[in-house]
Amino acid sequence: MEKITQAFEKFDDYNKQDPNSFEWNGEIYPQEYFMALKCSEWVLKLDPQASEELQLASRSQHIGRWSIPRNTYPEGKVGYLTWRKDLGKFHAETAAKILEQVGYNESVIERVKQIITKQKIKQDADVQTIENALCLVFLEFQYEAFFQKHDDEKMIEIIRKSLLKMDAHGHSFALQLSYSEKGLALIQKALERLG
């Protein structure tokens, strides 16, 4: 069995332990397992020639995310950013241990960690592809339910920040997804604010 296939299996087995579930098209999945599969799929749509390191990072980007809940950090922006930074390190280290078990060398592992922790976004093409993929997973699978829980102004700002993280290639895919009338209107308002 190829190393990448072994790594994917180990990542998937780990994420299948997520106690949170996600329902899609009448099927119920462990949430991070589902999201990892979709991130992996989006990376290949965005970059059909994706490197092995990028594919490995896409499948383990949020591995074990449930282990460090947001509510264990203080409210507010500083608490949120600290949580995100600690999560990134946790995902990178967890993926690195699995890659080591499978037999990947240090340079591959370091590269996967760089992509997972999103070093040099906007400068590193692989990191940008991951960011596009993560935003597209959110827009395709979580956005419609998410915006209904927040007021419009807050939601427009959240979308604007997501769109800023993406590049033109990512935007072109985002605009091809199907949205409800209100969902699309919020995205259009966010796009107007990018100007």
Report residue 25 as tokens: 């098209």
The lowest-confidence range among 7-11, 170-174, 189-193 is 189-193
pLDDT band at 145, cuts 50/70/90? confident
Q: What is the mean pLDDT of the chain?
A: 94
CATH of the domain spanning 3-192 = 1.10.3210
Residue 195: predicted pLDDT: 66
Report residue 139 as tokens: 């827009």
What's the whole-number mean pLDDT along residues 60-71?
95
What's the whole-number mean pLDDT along residues 74-93?
93
- The pLDDT of residue 148 is above 90: no
Rg (the chain; Cα; Å): 17
What's the whole-number mean pLDDT along residues 90-104?
97
- The pLDDT of residue 40 is above 80: yes
Name residues whose C-beta falls within 8 Å of residue 57's C-beta, 6 or more positions apart in sequence: 95, 112, 115, 116, 126, 130
Domain residue spans of the chain: 3-192
The lowest-confidence range among 59-63, 125-129, 186-190 is 186-190
Residue 119: predicted pLDDT: 87
Report residue 103 as tokens: 């037999």
Token look-up 């605009």 returns: 175
The lowest-confidence range among 7-21, 40-54, 105-119, 161-175 is 161-175
- 8 Å CB contact between 86 and 68: yes
What's the whole-number mean pLDDT along residues 4-24?
97
Name residues whose C-beta falls within 8 Å of residue 76's C-beta, 6 or more positions apart in sequence: none
